[in-house]
Amino acid sequence: MSKIEVDAITQQSGTTVTVGGGACKTAVVDATTVTLGRSGGTVQLASGASQTGFGRTGTVDWQTGSIKTATFTAANGEGYFANTTGSAFNMNLPAGVAGAIVSVADYAETFNSNNLTIVPNGSDKIGSLNENAVLNVKGQSVTLVFVDSTQGWVNTMDSTSNVRGIPPFVQATVSGACNTLTEDGDFKVATFVGPGTFCVSSISGCAAKNVISQLVVAGGGGGNAGRPGTNHAGGAGGAGGFREESNPADPYVPNDSPLASTSTRELTIGAFPITVGAGGAGIASAPPNVCGNNGSNSTGITIVSAGGGGGGSPTDPPSGTGSSGGSGGGGSSQGVSPGGSGNTPPVSPPQGQNGGQGRDGPPGCLSAGGGGGAGAAGSNSAASSGGAGGTGVTTNITGSSVGYAGGGGGGSNNVPGTAGANGGGRGAGGCTSTAGTTNRGGGGGGGGTPGAGSSGGSGIVVIRYRFQ
């Protein structure tokens, strides 16, 4: 075999030097340093040729001149801008070779409405799973590197979350009559107006995307009846306990609820039974020493709100204190009757406030206290009017501002106590008492002289989570 050794090769004419030309030829240059090209020049592979042994630095050549609008097959070393405005489509990965790299980015920020599906080649894997991966987040971009047959394509750079062959967000369903699952931007809102189950089938690999917001309102307490022949009025029901946990990454925050606490509660896969508390039944006529019925508790994802306290009874001897609960029931007009305690059992922030005091007085001035609300205590009765129900609070956790947990108005033999804003019922006094609002957790109004107390309103549970 012949061997030629030279210090330099210089073209004789033209501008091209060919080394090892011809089919099936291999040119070997054995040197400590091989310099290709010159300063300011370009080293270029022939069309259809491929390189080996040079490696890459973790970057791709972005194909800015060809925006992808339909299913295509990616090539090793290239990055693509995918425009899914028209419809969802696929990006097929090339055959996996160790060190292969591919990138793709959301050109029009439409991956959330029209997904891009990444399809592996044959038995190749994505993040250790032989499944397609779905990019479904607005503005998402990823870079995938093929490592080996065990892990396959591994996501080394993601603008949103880790890419595996599973959805990157929570997937859940709700059960139970009249319970709903709606959308508000990038979040879904599960609303329970009755018992049901919140079923989580998948969670994100990113813990922050599993944090939820939730609202749990218990049933309001029932109002008590006035006592016939005495002109004594019944105490109003307290609102059901109001508890809200707010995910700071959720755009509905800041909200107008003063009782919302910062949520760090993460979902896990499983079925979570949800309980929605019923309102306490109002007392139709006042038997001796019987308070109005408390509302029932509501249970969300591991938190419980307490039912509102029932209104105090106008009995003789005096024992007309309102019952304690999420918010306290109002005291009756028998003697000086205090309202029940709110925030029972105690939680922070408080789930409700105290009921108002009822009072005995001259004929024509017998009035009961208002039930406590989530945002304010029930008012004490005045000389000739029932105490107003304590105001509830509002929140836009459902996507619009809604008020919950107002206390009931106290009964009177003259002027009825006004209903607490955001769901409370009106007291009786020359008129009939009214019930707390359904699924708002309001306290029922107290009865007049005579007159029936009204029932508290049922509660509600709302769970809000990111799904895209």
- pLDDT of residue 165 exceeding 60: no
pLDDT bracket for residue 255 (50, 70, 90): low
Entry pTM: 0.68
Mean pLDDT of all residues belonging to the chain? 87
Which amino acid is it at 377? Answer: A
Output the pLDDT for position 316: 59
- Could you report the per-residue pLDDT of 422-464, keeping only the tens digit for each? 999 999 987 899 999 999 999 999 998 778 999 999 999 999 9
Same domain, 72 and 194: no
Cα separation of 161 and 141, whole Å? 10
Same domain, 123 and 232: no
| Window from 28-32, 195-199, 221-225 with minimum mean pLDDT | 28-32
Same domain, 178 and 152: no
- Could you report the per-residue pLDDT of 230-244, keeping only the tens digit for each? 778 999 999 999 999
Is 49 a member of any domain? Answer: no
Residue ending a domain, among 158, 178, 208, is 158
Cα separation of 343 and 358, whole Å? 20
Same domain, 336 and 446: yes
Output the pLDDT for position 291: 84
Instruction: Report whether 234 contacts 286 (CB < 8 A).
Output: yes
Same domain, 216 and 145: no
| Window from 3-12, 52-61, 448-457 with minimum mean pLDDT | 3-12
Cα separation of 430 and 451, whole Å? 10
pLDDT bracket for residue 194 (50, 70, 90): very high
- pLDDT of residue 381 exceeding 90: yes
Same domain, 85 and 230: no
| Window from 26-35, 219-228, 332-341, 356-365 with minimum mean pLDDT | 26-35
pLDDT bracket for residue 11 (50, 70, 90): low
Same domain, 175 and 142: no
Same domain, 132 and 245: no
Residues 79-101, mean pLDDT to the nearest whole number: 96
Is 352 a member of any domain? Answer: yes
pLDDT bracket for residue 139 (50, 70, 90): confident
Is 419 a member of any domain? Answer: yes
Instruction: Report whether 104 contacts 82 (CB < 8 A).
Output: yes
Is 30 a member of any domain? Answer: no
Output the pLDDT for position 177: 92
Between 337 and 25, residue with greater pLDDT: 337
Residue ending a domain, among 110, 135, 158, is 158
CATH of the domain at 125: 2.60.120.640
Output the pLDDT for position 365: 72
Residues 20-49, mean pLDDT to the nearest whole number: 61
Is 48 a member of any domain? Answer: no
Same domain, 222 and 84: no
Is 183 a member of any domain? Answer: yes
Is 366 a member of any domain? Answer: yes
SS3 state at 140: coil
Same domain, 314 and 252: yes
pLDDT bracket for residue 276 (50, 70, 90): very high
Contacts of 24 (CB under 8 A, 6+ apart): none
- pLDDT of residue 405 exceeding 90: yes
Q: What is the DSSP letter of 207?
A: G
Between 291 and 403, residue with greater pLDDT: 403
DSSP string computed for 304-356 = EEPPPPPPPP--SS---PPPPSSSPPPP-SSSEEPPPPSSSS--SS-S--PPP
Same domain, 182 and 142: no
Is 10 a member of any domain? Answer: no
Output the pLDDT for position 137: 81
Same domain, 66 and 92: yes
pLDDT bracket for residue 138 (50, 70, 90): confident
Token pair belonging to 83: 């425009």
- pLDDT of residue 179 exceeding 70: yes
CA distances (Å), origin 76, targets 128, 156, 405:
19, 15, 60
Our count of domains for the chain comes to 2
Output the pLDDT for position 260: 87
- pLDDT of residue 45 exceeding 90: no
Task: State which residues form the domain around 109.
Answer: 61-158
- Burial letters 406-444, b for 16+ CB under 10 A, else e: bbbbbbbbbbbbbbbbbbbbbbbbeeebbbbbbbbbbbb
